[in-house]
Amino acid sequence: MLKHTKQAFDTKPIVAIVILTDGVRFVIVCNPEKINRGWVFPGGHVQCEESAIDEVIPHVFEETSIELNPSSFELLLRRRRARTHFLSFEVVVEPNVLDGIPSKAPSGHDIRIVDKKRLMKMVAPPRVSMMQYQPQ
């Protein structure tokens, strides 16, 4: 007989997304192998909320070819849901960083740099809560 502990039921996947911006433009990605997901912010699954920044940096690099400094992350949103926990971080970079991004990452992800108006049309609102987001 299997023993179920409370801890086993409290363990939920954690998804961390990174809003990568220069204050005006945003980076979004699309994985051609998962085209039904559409355009999303870079990020990925992480094991632990406490180490989420260190864990999500390789995901962002894989999807965008941008190397990020952990000290540049600012937590915007922590949302706990029934099945998955979500963490949203903002990373503000210099405009020249976004100017040098290719349109396709070595991983095969398509990359777009868009303004907020275009972002709202391309990224599905249930996936990203941008209605309240105001870059600083």
pLDDT of the residue at 2: 37
| β-pair partners for 61 | none
CB atoms within 10 A of CB 110: 16
Enclosing H/E stretch for 55:
helix 52-64
pLDDT of the residue at 130: 44
Q: What value does the mean pLDDT take over residues 102-108?
A: 88
pLDDT higher than threshold 90 for residue 26: yes
pLDDT of the residue at 119: 87
Q: How confident is the model at residue 120 (pLDDT cuts 50, 70, 90)?
A: confident
Q: What value does the mean pLDDT take over residues 52-72?
A: 92
pTM of the model: 0.77
Query: How many alpha carbons lie under 13 Å from residue 121 in its C-beta half-sphere?
Result: 4
Q: How confident is the model at residue 49 (pLDDT cuts 50, 70, 90)?
A: confident
Q: Rounded distance, CA 47 to CA 104, Å?
A: 27
pLDDT higher than threshold 60 for residue 66: yes
Task: Give the chain's domains with CATH numbers.
Answer: 12-122 (3.90.79.10)
Q: How confident is the model at residue 131 (pLDDT cuts 50, 70, 90)?
A: very low
